[in-house]
Structure 1
């Protein structure tokens, strides 16, 4: 089952017919009647509303954003489309389904922010808690996990995110592919040097809260930690080596089994981990997102995510505004511009400028990650603007 705008199966043709009258009213109002006839005819002939509806929505959006259209036109269009999606869920049978939208990582790269910006979509339902870790169990069946997900409308999509999926369990990619072969995966990557700083303080805070970490967290500063761990990791892993990448991956997991805290650094060997995921997924079902870009320009990124998920684009870049006092983006309710929903301050521990790496530590980590970053950029066919 592909992710589509409306319900799947034989009902699609009937749904096209029942929605035609309302869509025609909207489209005639914006002078797109001829285009609408062609697109709707394509939808009824192919029994697939997802691509046609997505293209129609795209064309309407482009026209509405042109200078000759007023804000009231744009608001009316969004109200109609939003209401259409809500109505498409009303009265539908509810069922439990494994997540079709899965955030697979990376820890401390803004995975919570992504969900915070995305979950308001009328067709997305999130799990409670968000991080279920259900795909960590090898050999499981769908029936083993359904009790852990909410009942949702049959044309809605359940979303779950567990950042540890990316690098803590080698079996996860195969588990997801076996259990949810048509899942769409979202992967956030951030500068691995900055990630070390963020993950260090995360582990430190969690230890002080729970006192139940797998090892005693004895380091009082990040430079102490890096000074101790960097030589061991350099010796065990070293520069990225394509010929021995699988052996290097083995060493990463062996090191983490023996010493849990090594993951603060080794998680940043993205290319070694990503090669495992690319055995089962590609750019059609795994979207790699530059975390820094998402935090600096969430509106455009969320629009691109909706396109990747093949969901109607009702969350627009205008919905995300920066708060001057914090420098972070918040979601602005398009029905009430006075309502802002911002990330909790706990999610900004190392981005508020109060914590940083010493210059010599930064330089050493940059040297460690250099070849691994270059390998990653080659795998993705694009570069990120990291240090």
Structure 2
């Protein structure tokens, strides 16, 4: 009798162990297949994460039979950013985006193509940029670096943080302040024919103030083309050599990249290729990302993360310039010539307008 019960107990234990082993094997196989399927899906299907940069909630988690798989995006679709591609998602435990001070800055020059440059370079999956001009180093420096960091986008390891404020290039205090933040900061400068740049600057101003004086009255003193008014902002900004001298007191020339505003418009892929090399990035943004809008006279983007359809920069780009007396233009070119030559000597770059 005892033997019969003993045999039954042994069979029950053996059967129980067999069932447990089967359940564990099934659970392991199911989890492995499902996780593999998730990975394959993320590689094939473009997925957006609509998490705002100001939201601090944890990345989404998927719980599968007791195992937690955390899905963390390589990047976020910031509401203020337009022009970013769709990125793959990573499945990594504990990977969390954070804000960092910028590694690179677009410091100028106003009305030379800085916005286009930033729109184009942030197509790169390893570039994250602040969505607006923060103006920390020229207007908000007293608020401190913690304030500045809060205006930066979320990034993960391996991504570059960028910010653009074109007035940095011409503000005296800015080079020292940036050097104090990080002497290794990379600096990008978009330059353009200073005469055309001044007219573009004036054109933008007249769009906001219709009763402005004529360009010729503002660019010259006493109504004569003999004396250029170097205190007038649109003229003063174009004296690139003088501004660059201040930057070279704090940064070596190797940390500055000078981009042709003219070539950025006619051949954006070439200039963006140089930018990617300068930032140490793989050349991901190429000519396939652009098309030319003959009506606006500007390159446009085929698509971005925010928009899946072709689109151009804002309506303010490509404004028609007012008529300017050719004699005034010739005089301004004469005025800028020695400064342009010095700028060439300092940079070693022969721009088309030199």
Q: TM-score range by the shorter chain?
A: 0.5 to 0.7
In structure 2, do the counterparts of structure 1 residues 158 and 363 end up closer, same or farther at CA, with 3 Å as the change threshold? Answer: same
5+ long unaligned stretches in structure 2: 1-85
Q: Is the 8 A contact 2:225 2:331 kept in 1?
A: no
Which residue, out of 196, 199, 223, partners 1:197? 199
Which residue, out of 340, 343, 350, partners 2:310? 340
Aligned length: 267
Deviations 1:206-231 (A, max 9, x none): 345xxxxxxxxx63321222244787
Residue 103 (1) aligns with residue 109 (2): no
Structure-2 separation of matches of 1:186 and 1:114 = 10
Bigger shift: residues 220-229 or 288-297: 220-229
Residue 122 (1) aligns with residue 89 (2): no
Structure-2 separation of matches of 1:364 and 1:235 = 8
Which residue, out of 310, 313, 325, partners 2:283? 313
Q: How does 1:218-297 map to 2 (within 5 A)?
A: 219-228=212-221, 234=227, 255=231, 262-297=232-267
Q: CA deviation at 1:338?
A: 8.3
Structure-2 separation of matches of 1:87 and 1:286 = 33
Residue number in structure 1 paired with 2:71:
none
Instruction: Considering fraction of residues, name the structure with more strand.
Output: 2
In structure 2, do the counterparts of structure 1 residues 88 and 220 end up closer, same or farther at CA, with 3 Å as the change threshold? Answer: farther
Higher relative contact order (CA 8 A, sep 6+): 1
Structure-2 separation of matches of 1:319 and 1:231 = 47
Residue number in structure 2 paired with 1:376:
343
In structure 2, do the counterparts of structure 1 residues 119 and 334 end up closer, same or farther at CA, with 3 Å as the change threshold? Answer: closer
Which residue, out of 133, 136, 141, partners 1:134? 136
Instruction: Considering fraction of residues, name the structure with more helix.
Output: 1
5+ long unaligned stretches in structure 1: 1-81, 209-217, 238-254, 256-261
Deviations 1:319-378 (A, max 9, x none): 22212333321122499x98323112212114xxx5342211111111111111111111
In structure 2, do the counterparts of structure 1 residues 89 and 111 end up closer, same or farther at CA, with 3 Å as the change threshold? Answer: farther
Structure-2 separation of matches of 1:89 and 1:315 = 27
Q: Is the 8 A contact 1:89 1:156 kept in 2?
A: no
DSSP 3-state at the match of 1:348:
coil
Q: CA deviation at 1:115?
A: 1.0
Q: CA deviation at 1:232?
A: 10
Residue number in structure 2 paired with 1:24:
none
DSSP 3-state at the match of 1:284:
helix
**Could you say which structure has the larger radius of gyration?**
2
